[in-house]
Amino acid sequence: MLSIEDLDLADKRVFVRVDINTPVHPETGELIEQARLEEAATTIRDLEGSRVVVASHQGRVGRSDYVSLKMHSQALSRILGKDVKFVEDVFGPEALRSIDALGTGEVLVLDNLRFTAEENQEYRAADAEKTFLVKRLRDHVDACVLDAFSTAHRASPTIVGFAGLVPTCAGVVVAKELRALDKIASVEKGPYVTVLGGAKVNDRMEAIDALVANRRADKVLLCGLVGLIFLKASGRYRSDIGIDNEQKYVVKARQLIDEDPERYEVPIDVAIKVDGARKEVDVTGLPPQTDVLDIGTRTVDRFSRLIKGAGTVFMSGPPGAFEWEAFSKGTESLLEAMGASYGTTIVSGGHLSTALQKYGIERQIDHISTAGGALVQYLAGKRLPLIDSLERAADKWGHRAA
């Protein structure tokens, strides 16, 4: 694949597809961390002689983190130490005028790509090129840099639609990530322990299928919302979890448990909020319609022993709501167990990257990635649409490389 150094991007309008999808505090609405923003800034700095158009999605439709990228542009401005422009538009007249008005060295952030219907769908490359989103932007950009590794597993228009239309190359984040993962692959060994938490149940279920099929999950330790799904499937949690397609996931979890009951570990105790304070209860004694905010001490101890005995440990998604100090025990303790492990350790996702910095454990982990689902798919040997796009672009535009 081509890199930024392979293309003549001086004074060109460069569409930079990053992933600055950032956790948003559930109460204040503020950005919780800026790990992905700092990564994106690395590539933007490498394009200081270009006219840079930054594009990213943020959150999911209907959720509290489905917000504008205005805050992100302000954060990027602070990180880069210069003014970063922002437009409340993606491919409409205002966005196109703002792109055309860019001067050399200037940076413009488009609004949340998922505000457009097309970016919420996946396409074959030929069909992505025909979307309104790509067709309208294509005439206003001279090149494309794909640097959204954490979205590499999604065939959205901005990931797969530009490679055949304008010279396209990999950004700094993608290139660095692939080099690191190739190195990890050369030293990893079993037994493989996978820890899955967080709120993205669909991503976690996909991860289980992929990692088990590729023999990268001898033990799967489940917490967060996916842990509740498996507890419900095993009959130990009877309340509604309140997520889309909940029953479908419960049925799937029941099937996985029936097929291989020894592979999956669920919480034996959890932490809930009672009168504003943390209270740990056995999973069999959970009151109906109780919000579970962390795993309990006995679960932490069991999961930590399994982590420390692993040859390779992969963790994606926090075990609890670590943003609140009272419910950070599970996340901090499992990350500390990974740091103390003699095995190869991989941590993925923006929330856990933030947690590692918060607890000062990042130097004890072999590989930290802000990517979640994409990293899972890559480790499981799956083809990623973004990588396919970069390889197609190298075939088409490589002869024009500087």
What are the CB-based long-range contacts (under 8 Å, 24+) for 163-166? 163/125, 163/389, 163/390, 163/392, 163/393, 163/396, 164/125, 164/126, 164/129, 164/392, 164/393, 164/396, 165/129, 165/134, 165/138, 166/15, 166/138, 166/141, 166/142
Beta-strand (E) ranges in 268-385?
269-274, 277-282, 292-295, 312-316, 344-348, 367-369
Each residue's pLDDT tens digit, 66-121: 999 999 999 999 999 999 999 999 999 999 999 999 999 999 999 999 999 999 99
Better-scored residue on pLDDT, 261 or 183 = 261
What is the pLDDT confidence band of residue 301, given thresholds at 50, 70 and 90? very high
Q: In CATH terms, are 4-174+383-400 and 190-342 the same topology?
A: yes
Does residue 40 register a pLDDT over 90? yes
Q: What average pLDDT score do residues 238-245 get?
A: 85
Choose the most confident range, by mean pLDDT, from 84-88, 194-198, 205-209. Answer: 84-88
pLDDT given at position 35: 84
For 253-264, how does the pLDDT look when each residue is reduced to its tens digit (9 = 90+)?
999 999 999 999
Say which residue, 113 or 291, is predicted with more confidence: 113
Return the residue matching tokens 């930024």. 4
What pLDDT is recorded for position 236?
85
Q: What is the pLDDT of residue 401?
A: 58
Q: Which CATH number fits domain 190-342: 2.40.50.100, 3.40.50.1260, 3.40.800.10, 3.30.420.40?
A: 3.40.50.1260
So where are the chain's domains?
4-174+383-400, 190-342
- pTM, 2 dp: 0.80
Q: Which is the CATH superfamily of the domain at 4-174+383-400?
A: Phosphoglycerate kinase, N-terminal domain (3.40.50.1260)
pLDDT, position 34:
86
Is residue 402 over pLDDT 70? no
pLDDT, position 331: 96
**pLDDT band at 328; cut points 50, 70, 90:** very high
For residues 373 and 280, the model is more confident at 280
